[in-house]
Structure 1
């Protein structure tokens, strides 16, 4: 066996190369040894007679690492990593995970992306199931989450609507005897103020155990978001300049509850009930003044906007696990869910200080669903683990939208009552087998059939019905190289992206000042799924406790690519999704994480982590350059460090997340721009004693602004719209109490 000392120069050189190649890039995961030390310290303070027992339990749990040991691998983000910075929005957690980026302006919102792809290419699951269309993941508090699973290559157990990958958010499940934890938090920045709190309670009484996770939040904001519009003719002459001053303000508040009951039935059988409730309420006021410096002014130059919205989402599941003979197990679950959202939009539009439009839009959406999942697993032949299962459900959606406009001089009101009902029925069947060819070589093979039927009918369109089904053969393999800790992975997948019901419904949403950069929007009932064939490969080098170097590459070939089409109809510009040609996307990801003690003797308790991801894509029907798929993030990187004092009382660290941008060619006539984003976050945790600790953090230390840009080019020139979203540093303090 080679000594650790003889490998030290190689490790240092490899680490240096990885970090330099990564550019500023810090990521996640501070794990076993620090956690064991923390458990040991707390155990000695609370129960000095049991420290050895606690260390043994922790060591046993840490022996299994799904990322390293599973053939169909996944990266698990632990509870400790999720709560490290005291985030109140789950999207802030994702921006620090290697290979994951968050779109949008960086204000706690935006779509979550793997391989730089969002908009349905990245599948987001809640406890293994897709969340309803009206539920925003951004309203999910990190305090009710037990772990996050990152699945880069599809497996048959989850839906294969995951061209870029799957992110599974698992709610609190673990029950610890007599656990009580209360958190009170306050956050403040130049444009918003947001207090919050959470409570975790769990206990056990014989065969029954229970837990309750709950949190609440509220906040206010007031910010400026300036906009500039220009038009340049083909000769380069400036023909139009408009400056918009927009003031946005409002308040939001919400509540999450996640109770769980677990009964041990004997013989290893269990029955579990888990419920999740999410409530949100938002109030908004926006005021917009448009100054035309050159050219023709818009239809309305002043807009006064008010919006009120509230939503309630609830889901409850009953899960039965039955142990069968000879190592078999049946895991069956059934659940019901419901969602209700109500909104009121009131808009006053002025032209030359005279009221020209007074419109009120009332909307209401309800959604009801039933789902069932099950898996039977058992040993099969020698060194085989066979499982098969089902995933089925039906969702009923009812959406109404009533628009009333005042009868004003010189304006023809457009009053409309639109509504539609949709029914989505899905069924999936799968089988998978994992077997060990040798002690170092394992293989996974799976096959999943998934069918979806969507039917919609409404007041303003004919009944729309569409049925799609996809066969997804899947294969993965893991080979651990002899006489080393290195291992290689390979995966072949077939995945797809189904159109959402909203994109299938041909209902129009109009814009006030209609143009090529502010078009009306309408669904397309002829939209078809996108299909993708993919390959993933990775090399992982484990060279010590919690020390990892990895390199991964992937490619997806996509047919039936969906892009946003834009056309002129009856004098108004309309945007609608269309299938148009093929696309290909490629990615390379590098990651390094290690404790400083792995390379330096007597090093302080510092853990380092870094990652970089480079993405390329090309859409065949869109001319280049910059014809990237789904406005893909071309480069992202993270870089982080965490320090833990020897006495375990102080933990502190920092994380830097970088997201590149640049111009994007959407189609022949449309272009966009993605702003570069740099997020620097710092935190510190001070443990007064085992019962009380204080966590402080500052996010967006650099005060990073975000810029949005869209342009339309034709024979008349270029029409461009640029929006600026100012960013501010936010400070946050959280008092955590255990009792």
Structure 2
């Protein structure tokens, strides 16, 4: 009779207490190149979301508004190139490119964040730039609990609340963790735009805009682990709701003269947003069939409901200035999106002929339903005794669609160790079937299907040169699937300025061969420094191209995304995280990472980088612990390089000012911490330059349609947070 397998051994749960030591980047023992950062690494600066935390790690950039960090751009590439995982599993998001906004996950739910620089066979291959794995606290993370409460003061004097709690302990034969969080969110911004006919010309008009985003995020997560039938059952789930209201009000003046006599337009644009994101997962694993077998089932849902209206009054259409308006325009729209994913995995690991072998299959079915309706534009001259009544909502072109994507991805992976060298090699075969039903186009075009299959090899090596030094090397093939909006068989009139957009059902996915080579050195007992060089050779690149005349007539064009050729991405990443023990400063920790980012592709106008890839991203900071005082203080400084993007008809250059954050804390015994943090203390601005053109020929000859400069700022933010352990 075969004996029962031994129980699964784990580190004992961490007793709940206040953070009293400086935390550094963990040195991951995974064979694949992974950087690991625990929550304690970020917590003293009190990030609100996973996006705020990711601003401090190497190679992550954002192209968001000031004070926001939503679409993570690993290595500066578009969010669709970065795979976002939660507990190692994919989750649906609002983006048509399958991207997920990381500001939807509260920081208090996080146990650690992993930067996975190169793909492995047992992970989904849609990670051309890499993957960001957000690991939530599990039942073995904590023995006891925390309560967190405080307030956030914004630049406009408003204070928003924050309240959260987490508890972990034994329940019955297993262990349970529960967490909940309520977070008030507010972002008051001021924008100014200056518009010219071309660079160096006289100022045509200015626009002053107030943009306030106010809302509340609610979150809950749970995890229960229990021994069952000689193995372990792991049940987990999370729920996040975002209620947000965006209020944009703007005034436009002619000639830069900001006075009533030169008022051109008054605009009121409001958006009411409710987003729900939840996921439940179950995993059972046990020793069987000569190894360990795991079965995983998961179900995730993302819903997004938005109501938007935009009202505008125009002036100076006649000789009579303000206060008599000349024309009123109203637009209203509703958006309902639901994205559901069901996943199933079967995995088996065992030792075989001196190696460790892992094989299995992963199944995913995505169902995405979208309905975008709007009231046809209501425009009439003022004054009007009988303005036209609102018409009924009607679906916009491409706005009433259903998408079903089915994947079945078998894989096999072999790993081993020879002396000081660890290695891993694998093959993954990804199959994809897509069905799209669009109710807004002609019946003959409403339904189409496409399918493709891609073989993705990968290999990793890690060599411990000494007890402190090691090198790593990885090669992997990855894929980026076309966005659902790119393959939908619909023509969107004047989608890009005066130019139309035509969907392309025949798009192939992009693929890339990638190479990562790194060196890492341990500094003392807690510090670590590393440097990594990466390269991606991209084929079947998807770019916007011109396919003829547009519906508005010359010079308007019809634009379509097509597979246009090849591109390359490269960079160097350096990171340092260490106490200054060598200088007699054991209670001083320093942090530094710098990533130089570059790429190269050719479009209609010549060579350029991948759109909106920043030139670099820099983070540096320190923490000074004061053990005898029971306190600490510290600072971080962040700067992101210039980003340039170019499509037919428009070119945009984006720059950000530097961001400075400070904190001071006082610990009251072993159970209470009070912390004051300040962010955006340099009042960093986002500045954009827009070059706009009426045709491809105009863009080549630099005959401008409009030249616009835009500046956005938000002001400092202060948090006062108290955290009590029990």
TM-score category by the smaller chain? 0.7 to 0.9
Partner of 2:507, secondary structure, is coil
Aligned to 2:599: 617
Aligned to 1:20: none
Alignment partner of 1:338 is 2:325: no
Alignment partner of 1:201 is 2:167: yes
Aligned to 2:119: 154
**Could you tell which deviates more after superposition, 670-679 or 583-592?**
670-679
Alignment partner of 1:690 is 2:670: yes
Between the two proteins, the alignment pairs up a number of residues equal to: 668
Contact 2:18 2:724 in 1 (8 A): no
Give the C-alpha shift of residue 520 in structure 1: 6.6
Alpha-carbon distance between aligned partners in 2 of 1:322 and 1:484, rounded to the nearest angstrom? 34
Give the C-alpha shift of residue 142 in structure 1: 0.5
| CA 1:549–1:284: 2 relative to 1, 3 Å | closer
Give the C-alpha shift of residue 511 in structure 1: 7.4
Aligned to 1:376: 348
Alpha-carbon distance between aligned partners in 2 of 1:575 and 1:724, rounded to the nearest angstrom? 29
Match runs of 1:261-660 below 5 Å: 261-265=224-228, 267=230, 269-293=231-255, 301-324=265-288, 326=290, 328-352=291-315, 353-382=325-354, 384-405=355-376, 408-409=379-380, 416-418=394-396, 419-436=400-417, 438-461=418-441, 462=445, 463-481=447-465, 485-507=468-490, 515=497, 523-565=503-545, 569-571=550-552, 577-597=561-581, 599-600=582-583, 602-621=584-603, 623=605, 627-647=608-628, 649-660=630-641
Aligned to 1:15: none
Alpha-carbon distance between aligned partners in 1 of 2:604 and 2:516, rounded to the nearest angstrom? 26
Alpha-carbon distance between aligned partners in 2 of 1:444 and 1:176, rounded to the nearest angstrom? 29
Aligned to 1:128: 88
1:657-677 Cα shifts (integer Å, max 9, x gaps): 121115x35257542212043
Alpha-carbon distance between aligned partners in 2 of 1:391 and 1:105, rounded to the nearest angstrom? 37
| CA 1:129–1:177: 2 relative to 1, 3 Å | closer
Partner of 1:333, secondary structure, is strand
1:297-352 Cα shifts (integer Å, max 9, x gaps): xxx833322221212222111111112265x1112110222233222112223232
| CA 1:577–1:133: 2 relative to 1, 3 Å | farther
Contact 1:554 1:587 in 2 (8 A): yes
Give the C-alpha shift of residue 105 in structure 1: 2.9
Alpha-carbon distance between aligned partners in 1 of 2:300 and 2:645, rounded to the nearest angstrom? 40
| CA 1:79–1:543: 2 relative to 1, 3 Å | closer
Contact 2:624 2:634 in 1 (8 A): yes
Partner of 1:92, secondary structure, is helix
| CA 1:497–1:210: 2 relative to 1, 3 Å | same
Alpha-carbon distance between aligned partners in 2 of 1:620 and 1:359, rounded to the nearest angstrom? 38
Alignment partner of 1:711 is 2:691: yes
1:115-148 Cα shifts (integer Å, max 9, x gaps): 2213311111122222213263212100011111
Partner of 1:81, secondary structure, is helix
Contact 1:41 1:648 in 2 (8 A): no
Aligned to 1:678: 658
Contact 1:493 1:535 in 2 (8 A): yes
Alpha-carbon distance between aligned partners in 2 of 1:596 and 1:407, rounded to the nearest angstrom? 66
Aligned to 1:19: none
Contact 1:622 1:666 in 2 (8 A): no
Partner of 1:630, secondary structure, is coil
Alpha-carbon distance between aligned partners in 1 of 2:200 and 2:68, rounded to the nearest angstrom? 39
Alpha-carbon distance between aligned partners in 1 of 2:142 and 2:124, rounded to the nearest angstrom? 35
Aligned to 1:33: none
| CA 1:612–1:426: 2 relative to 1, 3 Å | same
| CA 1:507–1:282: 2 relative to 1, 3 Å | farther
Partner of 1:238, secondary structure, is coil
| CA 1:185–1:391: 2 relative to 1, 3 Å | farther
Aligned to 2:318: none
Partner of 2:64, secondary structure, is coil
Partner of 1:225, secondary structure, is strand
Which of 94, 101, 105 is residue 65 of structure 2 equivalent to?
A: 105
Contact 1:67 1:73 in 2 (8 A): no
After TM superposition, the score normalised by the length of structure 1 is: 0.84
Give the C-alpha shift of residue 244 in structure 1: 1.1
Alpha-carbon distance between aligned partners in 2 of 1:175 and 1:143, rounded to the nearest angstrom? 16
Contact 2:82 2:127 in 1 (8 A): yes
After TM superposition, the score normalised by the length of structure 2 is: 0.85
| CA 1:286–1:696: 2 relative to 1, 3 Å | same
Alignment partner of 1:219 is 2:185: yes
Contact 1:400 1:420 in 2 (8 A): yes
Alpha-carbon distance between aligned partners in 1 of 2:491 and 2:662, rounded to the nearest angstrom? 45
Which of 719, 725, 728 is residue 715 of structure 2 equivalent to?
A: 728
Alpha-carbon distance between aligned partners in 1 of 2:604 and 2:513, rounded to the nearest angstrom? 21
Alpha-carbon distance between aligned partners in 2 of 1:42 and 1:365, rounded to the nearest angstrom? 41
Contact 2:481 2:509 in 1 (8 A): yes
Alpha-carbon distance between aligned partners in 1 of 2:549 and 2:190, rounded to the nearest angstrom? 32
Q: Which has the higher strand share?
A: 2
**What residue ranges of structure 2 are gaps of 5+ in the alignment?**
1-11, 95-99, 257-263, 316-324, 382-386
1:509-542 Cα shifts (integer Å, max 9, x gaps): 6779x736xx676654333211111111112222
Give the C-alpha shift of residue 279 in structure 1: 1.1
**What residue ranges of structure 1 are gaps of 5+ in the alignment?**
1-35, 46-54, 56-61, 295-299
Alignment partner of 1:86 is 2:67: no
Give the C-alpha shift of residue 219 in structure 1: 3.3
Contact 1:521 1:574 in 2 (8 A): yes
Partner of 1:448, secondary structure, is strand
Aligned to 1:5: none
Aligned to 2:135: 170
Alpha-carbon distance between aligned partners in 2 of 1:331 and 1:70, rounded to the nearest angstrom? 19
| CA 1:528–1:42: 2 relative to 1, 3 Å | closer
Alpha-carbon distance between aligned partners in 2 of 1:726 and 1:253, rounded to the nearest angstrom? 22
Give the C-alpha shift of residue 163 in structure 1: 1.0
Alpha-carbon distance between aligned partners in 2 of 1:119 and 1:562, rounded to the nearest angstrom? 15
Give the C-alpha shift of residue 590 in structure 1: 1.8
Alpha-carbon distance between aligned partners in 2 of 1:504 and 1:580, rounded to the nearest angstrom? 15
Contact 1:515 1:573 in 2 (8 A): no
Alpha-carbon distance between aligned partners in 1 of 2:483 and 2:407, rounded to the nearest angstrom? 13
Give the C-alpha shift of residue 252 in structure 1: 0.9
